[in-house]
Amino acid sequence: MEYIKLGNTGLDVSPLCLGAMGFGSPTNWIHNWILEEEESRPVIKKALDLGINFFDTANIYSLGRSEEVLGKALRDFGKREELVVATKLYMPMKKAPNSGGLSRKEIFFQVEESLKRLGMDYIDLYIIHRWDYQTPIEETMEALHDLVKAGKVRYLGASAMYTWQFAKAQFIAEKHDWTKFVSMQNHLNLLYREEEREMIPFCEDQKIAITPYSPLASGRLTRDWTGDTKRSLTDQTSKMKYDQTMDQDRVIVERVAQVAEELDVKRAQVALAWLMQKEVVTVPIIGATKESHLLDALPAIDVTLTPEQVAFLEEPYLPHQVVGAR
């Protein structure tokens, strides 16, 4: 596998990242389709065997259990010095004062909690999961900078916010000579392209890596429109993101199937290839819960879409309501 640089850094990452939201516990959080540890470990090991070295989780996933499962598997099967591990903070882990958000107090507390659960002494990429409307951005950026200088964190990233917010954070960091964000983990796929308006041009101009989440639209781009899975039937977050635009999205899903048939490849490969043909997109984050999901996705690295095929896939898109930024 050929590795690429994460944006304007010297960090080597695989062209696909394995997202770990699907690993942890189906009973202690909001999703009942999540795999227990015993089922998760073979998927993580397969990713490592295939050459994937970039893994993404968050403290909120299964209320910390995802970090525990991922960290143990990576310690057992991988070499820490070769791996890039990302985790996130912002969401409240319990109903209590000072739980959640991006205050200095919470940032310092949550990084230590994540390190303990991961069983690691540093985090490669520490990502703020959302914008905190209740905490001054100066407080957040200085605290994150201090984590980098303390050796707890190597790089900083952001996720799911408006472009003006991201630009403001970068400006504040530059103004004070603090560590800036090197990546943006945003919502981007063939069914949701609102990020193309402002965030993608901004990141391209600033040489910031884009690592899209939900590149397969929670599986909608990989199967027939009438096909169902346990996740599609029960995942309320996914329903919120996509159910309101089902009629207009159906045409795009059908076109993905048509292009896949023309190229004799999997639909997942077409959807991922569409993302990866955008130069600013560094690494899509795939949420595999089966080894076969990895095997279906990885060949996308070598799939090339013609300009005509890209235009055919993009043509039916209609504007969507912005989701994920709050």
Active site residues: 61
Amino acid at 71: G
Residue that is written with structure tokens 């309320």 in the block: 236
SS3 of residue 85 by DSSP: strand
Longest dimension (CA), the chain: 56
How far is Cα of residue 179 from the mean position of the Cα atoms in its chain?
21
User: Which class for 319: exposed (0-12), middle (13-18), buried (19 or more C-beta within 10 A)?
Assistant: exposed
Contacts of 149 (CB under 8 A, 6+ apart): 179
Amino acid at 1: M
C-alpha to C-alpha distances, 306 to 15, 124, 238, 277, 311, nearest whole angstrom: 20, 35, 30, 10, 9
Amino acid at 29: W
Token pair recorded at residue 293: 């999901």
Contact status, residue 303 vs residue 273, Cβ threshold 8 Å: yes
Task: Please give the full DSSP string across 65-82, using - where no structure is assigned.
Answer: HHHHHHHHHHHHHS-GGG
CA 209, CA 278: separation in Å to the nearest integer?
A: 12
Token pair recorded at residue 81: 């010095």
Query: How do strand 4-5 and strand 12-13 relate by DSSP bridges?
Result: antiparallel
User: Which class for 91: exposed (0-12), middle (13-18), buried (19 or more C-beta within 10 A)?
Assistant: middle
Contact status, residue 54 vs residue 86, Cβ threshold 8 Å: yes
CA 94, CA 144: separation in Å to the nearest integer?
A: 22
